[in-house]
Amino acid sequence: MSSAAAIEHATKHAQLIELLQAHGAQAIMLSTPASLAWFLGGARTHVSLGAPPIARVLVHADGCELATSVSEAQRLQNEELNALDQINIHVTGWYESLDDVGSWFGQAAAWEILDESEIESELRALRTSLSAVEIERYRQLCQDTAAVMTDVLSVVSSADSEFSVAAKLSAGAMELGGEVLVALVSSAARAGYRHPLPKGVPLGRKAMAVLCVRRHGLIANLTRWVRFEPATEQEISGESDILGVEAEILSGICAGTMLGDLLPRIQQAYPAHGFDELEWTRHHQGGIAGYSGRDPRLAPGATDRFQFNQAFTFNPSAQRDGLTFKVEDTMLLAESGAIEVLSVDPRWPAIMVNGLPRPQVLQR
């Protein structure tokens, strides 16, 4: 195991042990995709993206125990665990429950074991405070994903179908080692849908593409638009105004701020920029990012606080004059307090808004 991987693992183990001690427990069971990927340095603990993880990790003061089925153990050890020799692997039958700790690690049968749900907010705070190596992984993933958007949308035509564009975006992301969690494409005819699962409809005069791509456990989120005819005044106005809404949101982000405290700012931003005051109710607005698409999503009463070295993705969207507008990128609150746009490709047309490069519609 590399020294960097060893340090990363030891640091996260120590953080969890401190958490256990604060709760007076003897172990914690990690069972969600986000926590497993975080603790295991980005290991892939799935077979089907739509199924639960194929491993459980029990973390305790003396080490870590990983349980998985006989069909997965060798692959995990050889290809996913980065030679983490501090982790003891327990092999179960494919028909046995990984959640039955006593059956595969009898020593823990009488322990008080914390479930993730019992320490959800504290675990999230650890998971979303990114180390330098995690930030570099994330930055590269976001740049790669943005480049895939540029590569594909720079060559598609108005006659191409949503299916075709989604396939090309997904293929580009997978070629770079990514797992495509979301690939949305809306043609001009379907622009009213906030989550347009692709269909066989031609793009028409203007189209939106959304990609959420996971690699090393981290998830990049971004939205881009392409237009094949001259822009109308209503389009130009709306595209500028949605960036104004986003700028209002970003101006309220600083370390220590409670996530839910942004909601009044968002509620005021839409009408201040000429959109209906209820737009914030028609689509989720984003939230903290990292090992989950939103970790957590902004909602009324959300108490998670922004931290330095934490990523976030906000995605204001609105409709006006029969048109839809949206902006979305993955960003980082740096240790300096500055915001860095991670999902940026210098080839994509951008405009500076409050010192940040914000994407414009690609005019073809």
Q: How far does the chain reach from its first CA to its final CA, in angstroms? A: 48
Coil vs helix vs strand at 133? helix
pLDDT in tens, 273-313: 999 999 999 999 999 999 999 999 999 999 999 999 999 99
Collapsing DSSP to helix, strand or coil, 85 comes out as: coil
Q: What is the pLDDT of residues 11-49, one digit of tens each?
A: 999 999 999 999 999 999 999 999 999 999 999 999 999
For the beta carbon of residue 31, count every other beta carbon within 10 angstroms: 19
pLDDT tens track for 177-229? 999 999 999 999 999 999 999 999 999 999 999 999 999 999 999 999 999 99
The pair of structure tokens assigned to 117 is 């749900």
State the chain's maximal CA–CA distance in angstroms: 69
The model's pLDDT over 127-175, given as tens digits with 9 standing for 90+, comes to: 999 999 999 999 999 999 999 999 999 999 999 999 999 999 999 999 9
Among the listed residues 187, 230, 185, the one whose alpha carbon sits nearest the alpha carbon of residue 206: 187
Element (H, E) at 185: strand 179-186
> For position 3, what pLDDT does the model report?
82
**Alpha helix ranges (H) inside 230-274:** 233-250, 263-272
What type of residue sits at position 246? E
Q: Give yes or no for a contact between 230 and 150, defined as CB atoms under 8 angstroms apart.
A: no
Averaged pLDDT of the chain: 97
Domains of the chain (ranges plus CATH)? 4-128 (3.40.350.10), 132-363 (3.90.230.10)
Contacts with 145 (C-beta within 8 Å, 6 or more apart), sequence order? 173, 176, 178, 211, 213, 220, 222, 343
Residue 83 pLDDT? 63
